[in-house]
């Protein structure tokens, strides 16, 4: 795992499984369980409330179009309601995320030029990585447009699709960060194609539209509790699911993770069907209820 360096926050994503892109080595200064580390001047950061409505730009979300370590893979594009194919979830704009190659920075780190993945959202200059657990926990919300006609389609070199169930259209994850070690824990929401509809933790989505994906990170007896909620845009909750398994298969006992040692991290499309463009809107990070 990555370690905090003096006055630097080291940001790490877990390495892909052995079935995916085996020719992509880890960074030289990390162990084999870490794919990369990015240094950012952000120490003892307070919890930051965040709202990105995509009315003007895609700040806080990064793909291959962003240079340097803050960038990553795939594409994220802001769309105005006057020129887009959809009405935004709210406001006058939304964004589209898609699968694609990684930027030159990560290729220079030893990643394959053929590697593909999708954007992530650490906030401007990693500002969403805090060093405190807010009273009441915290919540990530993102509106995602779902279309039941979407089907799964694997790219040639999937990055994290080996962790995804068969039929995955995309996998959306929210993470928490262990402050002392800078280790991240990822909690996945797989969206599957099943019988002409989409399925999320067994809940069938058979109507196209905007849905709110909500990760709730709370305290249970001083330890971490993770709940996913799917809501429609009228505010009604359609699904509530406790998530107790870490996406990358780490041996994680949530009951052993003290919230005083944890903080906010980021959201990310860890797996995404090849050729699919997913509309997103109204990204929020806020204290819990």
pLDDT tens per residue across span 234-277: 779 999 999 988 877 666 778 788 999 999 999 999 888 888 99
Q: Does domain 46-287 have CATH number 1.10.357?
A: no
Which string of DSSP letters, residue by residue, matches 19-66? TS-TT-PPPTTS-TTEEEEEEES--SPPP--EEE--SS--TT-B-TTS
Q: How far is CA 288 from the centre of its chain?
A: 19
Confidence of residue 107 (pLDDT cuts 50, 70, 90): confident
Q: What's the rounded Cα separation, in Å, for the pair 267 and 142?
A: 9
Q: How is 216-245 classified by DSSP, letter by letter?
A: EEEEETTEEEEEEEEEETTS-EEEEEE--S
- Measured CA angle at 9 (ends 67, 95), to 5 deg: 40
Predicted confidence band of residue 163 (pLDDT cuts 50, 70, 90): low
């Amino acid at each position: 795992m990555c370690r905090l360096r003096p006055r630097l926050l080291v940001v790490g994503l877990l390495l892909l499984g052995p079935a995916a892109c085996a020719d992509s080595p880890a960074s030289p200064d990390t162990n084999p369980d870490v794919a990369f580390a990015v240094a950012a001047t952000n120490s003892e950061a307070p919890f930051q409330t965040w709202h990105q409505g995509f009315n003007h730009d895609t700040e806080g979300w990064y793909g291959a179009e962003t240079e340097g370590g803050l960038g990553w893979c795939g594409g994220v594009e802001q769309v105005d309601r006057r020129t887009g194919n959809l009405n935004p979830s709210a406001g006058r704009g939304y964004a589209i995320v898609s699968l694609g190659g990684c930027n030159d920075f990560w290729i220079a780190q030893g990643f394959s030029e053929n590697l593909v993945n999708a954007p992530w959202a650490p906030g401007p200059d990693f500002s969403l990585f805090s060093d405190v657990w807010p009273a009441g926990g915290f919540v990530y919300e993102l509106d995602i447009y779902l279309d039941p006609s979407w089907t799964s389609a694997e790219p040639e070199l999937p990055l994290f699709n080996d962790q995804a169930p068969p039929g995955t259209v995309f996998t959306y994850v929210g993470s928490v960060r262990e402050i002392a070690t800078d280790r991240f824990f990822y909690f996945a929401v797989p969206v599957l194609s099943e019988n002409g509809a989409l399925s999320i933790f067994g809940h069938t989505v058979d109507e196209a539209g905007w849905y709110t994906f909500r990760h709730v990170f709370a305290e249970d007896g001083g330890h971490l509790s993770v709940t996913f909620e799917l809501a429609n845009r009228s505010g009604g909750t359609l699904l509530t699911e406790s998530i107790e398994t870490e996406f990358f298969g780490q041996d994680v006992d949530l009951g052993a993770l003290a919230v005083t040692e944890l903080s906010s991290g980021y959201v990310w499309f860890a797996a995404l069907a090849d050729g699919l463009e997913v509309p997103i809107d109204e990204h929020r990070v806020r204290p819990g209820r």
